[in-house]
Amino acid sequence: MKKWAAFLLLLILPVMALGKTFRPDSWPILFGYLAVISFSTYLTYWHDKRRARSGGWRVPEKLLHLLELLGGWPLAFVAQRVFHHKNQKRSYQIVFWFIVLLHQLVALDYLLDWRISARLFN
């Protein structure tokens, strides 16, 4: 239960940033993109787990991480718990959580009108 509460907390900053970014008339495009990338990420985890069990060709971890980076990290988190896949591999989790942190920092910086970036790069 604690993991799911943490998951919901991790969604707060990105959702707030998306709400600030897009006008209501562009929300269908945004939600369409997020639905496609999220569902694709979830299905890719499912496919990789099936292949892991059957000894077949595996999905490269770079592809899983790319999907997470492109915005599929929330359903990657869910897939890791539902399929018990990639959630024990430390090297994978380090990159996964770096991607989640990156999304959090970019959302926070955007909500603060890029003040963090301005201080870092000026």
pLDDT digits (tens, 9 = 90+) for 9-30: 999 999 999 888 878 788 888 8
Number of Cβ within a 10 Å radius of residue 110: 18
CB 22 within 8 A of CB 53: no
Place of tokens 């009108």: 113
Residue range 34-81, pLDDT digits in tens: 999 999 999 999 999 999 999 999 999 999 999 999 999 999 999 999
Place of tokens 């790319």: 66
Predicted pLDDT of residue 102: 97
Name the pLDDT band for 32 (thresholds 50, 70, 90).
very high
Please report how the helices 2-21 and 90-111 are oriented relative to each other, as an axis angle in degrees rounded to 10. Answer: 40
